[in-house]
């Protein structure tokens, strides 16, 4: 008879504050992430906080902006400097950071267990420390929050794309935020 272990092996992950994830990742943003950034920097221009990245129209986060398909991400200054908000390997917006940053490198598997996200596995292997991670309800709650926020965001993205259609004059970041902030 084969013995079944109902407990998965401990997840091995510990942040060593090397900043590599902040230099290497394209950090997607949703409407609630943007609201947190604006609250953190109330005087900043939206274009200082959000980067529009070319995207394929099939991407569920792709927005019609400036007569093109775009996804929204944190501003990134390239692989050497990384995220605009990275300062000496420390996050200057830690309390307001996007949910994608809060959850790195984790995701839920099909059994709703925490695992290393395949898209982050190489970076995880090369940069992150491998210490047993405590079973964290906080990590689970953060991932659940991320799922809820992006589910809502994708509904808003779909509605936005229908709303602006081919009206290029309405496809601006400012117009988008005027629309999204009602749901943030």
Residue pointed to by tokens 């799922």: 147
Does position 8 have pLDDT exceeding 70, yes or no?
no
Strands (DSSP E) contained in the chain are 12-14, 51-54, 63-65, 68-73, 86-87, 90-91, 106-108, 114-116, 129-132
> In degrees, to the nearest 5, what angle opens at C-alpha 152 toward C-alphas 50 and 134?
85
Residue pointed to by tokens 């390239």: 78
> What DSSP state is assigned to residue 182?
G
Closest CA to 26 of 73, 80, 87: 73
**pLDDT 10s digits, 33-69:** 999 999 999 999 999 999 999 999 999 999 999 999 9
**pLDDT 10s digits, 122-168:** 999 999 999 988 767 788 888 999 999 999 999 999 999 999 999 99
- Under the phi-then-psi rule, with left for phi > 0, alpha for psi from -120 to 50, and beta for the rest, what region is 89? left
pTM over 0.75: yes
């Amino acid at each position: 008879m084969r013995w079944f272990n109902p407990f998965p092996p401990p997840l091995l992950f510990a942040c060593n504050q090397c900043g590599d994830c902040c230099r290497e990742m394209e950090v997607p943003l949703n409407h609630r992430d943007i609201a947190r950034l604006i609250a953190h920097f109330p005087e900043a221009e939206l274009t200082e906080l959000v980067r529009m990245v070319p995207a394929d129209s099939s991407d569920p986060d792709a927005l019609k902006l400036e007569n093109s398909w775009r996804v929204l991400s944190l501003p990134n200054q390239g692989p050497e400097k990384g995220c605009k908000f990275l300062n000496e390997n420390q996050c200057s917006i830690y309390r307001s950071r996007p949910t994608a940053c809060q959850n790195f490198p984790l995701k839920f598997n099909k059994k709703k267990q925490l695992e290393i996200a395949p898209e982050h596995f190489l970076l995880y292997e090369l940069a992150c420390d491998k210490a047993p991670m405590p079973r964290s309800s906080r990590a689970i709650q953060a991932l659940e929050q991320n799922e809820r926020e992006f589910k809502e965001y994708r509904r808003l993205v779909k509605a936005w794309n229908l709303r602006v259609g081919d009206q290029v004059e309405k496809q601006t970041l400012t117009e988008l935020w005027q629309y999204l902030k009602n749901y943030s």
